[in-house]
Structure 1
């Protein structure tokens, strides 16, 4: 290999690294405009949707992105270049979000029809995201050296989170514009779609080397269940998923009960900043004490937050979103890291695919939370969430203690 050949390879690795980095920044920016627990929930609440429909919004995104993974793994494994599937799905993901944005501009006079278009667009986006997830991780694994991945995702989350925090200012400004509903939200959804589109386009430009041989990925659904420690982890993960029924209703409660409007932008800023700053802390805690500690911390904070939501005065309600950003970040980092460390190397796809698919099905728990809120008020899902988070905290104490990473 000549010196020029070596330089070309290093330049290619750096280019792929930069593209993956920029992808994360723009995707996290898009996430801010489509935040399921705050922006989407407040939009649905102002649209007059039933509480079960409000709970459906984030569920469509979360479930759709997780459920297909265990089923598409064999197909993805046989593709010599995984990013090609990511590119195809990116076009469909942009189109699905475009439907949501256009609906906001043209169907404001038909709120019933707008709601259905909104739901359909989010459902399609979640489904297409589910087909994009594994190609994304496979491409990262093939193009980003292992020693650079932690730095990549740390910087993705830090800068992307700061961009999302800045987007909170823009959200508040747009929601304060003297425009009739739902035009301000249509503008937000358009900005989010554009940010996503550019981020997905950048990742699609990554130059992924083809596999040298075709792999056949076999997913065993029974293998993980034979692992006692996986069953314990899955029980905790299920409890956390059920507890998540409360997540979209903090914003709905603020809109419908407390009468907050433009404060939604402030809450998004608080949520995002809390998530970014706490994530820096959680990484250090995980390295020193292990990922199990993050699961316990997240469950504890999650149990406290619904109680505070019912007790805090209106002027201090921002604290709810500060805690929500912190505990969702802790749970997200903790459960993902714990599962990767728990799974045997030769069965990692089975463990991760099965766990994500089961949790994806339970991502519809906010719909149950909405039905409960329709019957007994918002205190219903908040009480159930507190119980489930507390139960997860108790059960999590019995998780296998893995070495810190």
Structure 2
């Protein structure tokens, strides 16, 4: 990765404008569908109403993470020297998402009489859904690299975040109406939640199917000729050598792990704010802070996209991680100011603006790796990032033993380290 790959230009990608719109539709609908089963709000309510407990929620959370990351290396192996990514992407995601329609029917039919059957059906669909989306992560990211010019990817990700962020506000209102019993009662309301997810996931799949994939694999200047396909054993055995050959990629993977500190410790910010405010804060006010976080996402998404397109992902990632250090600092400033709500809201605002840092990291990866190698390195990136799954556990132990502030300090240390490592990465735009 020490030699940046020359960038694609629009003439080489005649369908770039159309594919841009299709990808915006795909990602936006995927995010909206996921919001119907949001892990912090709708999912716990649905599981609880079907008789599940906190232990099951923890299991589902682990399933979500593991099912997303674990299939990626195997799919990357399957994509060796592939001339097209779209067919396997459509197959994997179709198999993963169809289960939500069946789960909604099970909740509707058995929610009252046999909630255990409904819960098993939902858990199975949830697992299958994340396996499908995890397996589709490699071909989807490689497809973005193949169909969208490098200097338009920042705008793509910014647009998807903006559109989906606005849409999530509407989905949140629908979820509140359903869970509040205003529109429908249990189990109809709960089935509608699952079907809402299924509907938007299906529309997302349709947008994917409409993408016009560029068949040529040689659009990336400097890409090496395709090498013979390896067996799975030989493929997995070659990965350590790949890491040694590209030390900058290993550093980028380390940055991705460290950058997850924001999302790993975000749940503890609410406990810190409540304990740092004299008299406490009502639970109902959590929605106000969520709005501040969403506004931060909407405000910063176009900024990161524009900076990435104009100056490149390294400079953008450096600035992003630098600003990431401010949200825990603002939280502590609010505490030392006697529970200043303005500073607490500002912390949530900045958290929303930086928590989706994976987008800039992915953009850097796509600009740094030749097209033929992208599926392998995308899968490898997510595989070596598995240690990030332990960060919430470590932060939780810190918070339980030393208070929520310890988790925020933990986040600050990781983010500062990530900033230092980012500064050592080569600039993919130094020749552009």
Give yes or no for TM over 0.5.
Answer: yes
What corresponds to 1:6 in structure 2? none
Q: Alpha carbons of 1:328 and 1:101: their partners in 2 closer, same or farther (altered >3 Å)?
A: farther
Distance of 2:290 and 2:190 partners within structure 1: 14
**1:298 and 2:302 are equivalent in the alignment:** no
Q: Is the 8 A contact 2:107 2:119 kept in 1?
A: no
Distance of 1:164 and 1:20 partners within structure 2: 17
Distance apart, 1:281 and its partner CA: 0.6
Distance apart, 1:72 and its partner CA: 1.2
What corresponds to 2:246 in structure 1? 227
Give SS of 2:355's match: helix
Distance apart, 1:84 and its partner CA: 3.5
Q: Is the 8 A contact 2:272 2:405 kept in 1?
A: no
Q: In the TM superposition, what are the counterparts of 1:391-402 in structure 2 within 5 Å?
A: 391-402=417-428
Q: Deviations over 1:140-165 (max 9, x none)?
A: 56666888766655544433333223
Distance of 2:365 and 2:70 partners within structure 1: 17
RMSD value over aligned CA atoms? Answer: 4.7
Give SS of 1:399's match: coil
What corresponds to 1:158 in structure 2? 162
**1:324 and 2:324 are equivalent in the alignment:** no
Distance of 2:189 and 2:401 partners within structure 1: 31
**1:88 and 2:95 are equivalent in the alignment:** no
For structure 1, which segment, 131-140 or 109-118, has the greater mean C-alpha deviation from structure 2 after superposition? 109-118
Q: Alpha carbons of 1:299 and 1:150: their partners in 2 closer, same or farther (altered >3 Å)?
A: closer
Distance of 2:290 and 2:47 partners within structure 1: 16
Distance apart, 1:129 and its partner CA: 1.0
How many residue pairs get aligned? The number is 393
Distance of 1:286 and 1:149 partners within structure 2: 8
What corresponds to 2:76 in structure 1? 73
Distance of 1:318 and 1:294 partners within structure 2: 24
**1:204 and 2:223 are equivalent in the alignment:** no
What corresponds to 2:305 in structure 1? 283
For structure 1, which segment, 41-50 or 360-369, has the greater mean C-alpha deviation from structure 2 after superposition? 41-50
Q: Deviations over 1:323-359 (max 9, x none)?
A: 2221123x22321122233335554444332112211
What corresponds to 1:274 in structure 2? 296
Give SS of 2:425's match: coil
Q: Alpha carbons of 1:136 and 1:31: their partners in 2 closer, same or farther (altered >3 Å)?
A: same
Q: Alpha carbons of 1:278 and 1:259: their partners in 2 closer, same or farther (altered >3 Å)?
A: same
Name the TM-score, length of structure 1 as normaliser: 0.73
Give unmatched runs, 5+ long, in structure 2.
1-12, 218-225
Q: Alpha carbons of 1:239 and 1:378: their partners in 2 closer, same or farther (altered >3 Å)?
A: same
Distance of 1:113 and 1:271 partners within structure 2: 37
Larger helix proportion of the pair: 1
Q: Deviations over 1:50-70 (max 9, x none)?
A: 5x9767655543443333222
**1:353 and 2:418 are equivalent in the alignment:** no
Q: Deviations over 1:143-191 (max 9, x none)?
A: 6688876665554443333322333343444455568899877654442
Q: Alpha carbons of 1:80 and 1:342: their partners in 2 closer, same or farther (altered >3 Å)?
A: closer
Q: Alpha carbons of 1:327 and 1:208: their partners in 2 closer, same or farther (altered >3 Å)?
A: closer
Q: In the TM superposition, what are the counterparts of 1:117-128 in structure 2 within 5 Å?
A: 121-128=125-132
What corresponds to 1:390 in structure 2? 416
Q: Alpha carbons of 1:19 and 1:244: their partners in 2 closer, same or farther (altered >3 Å)?
A: closer
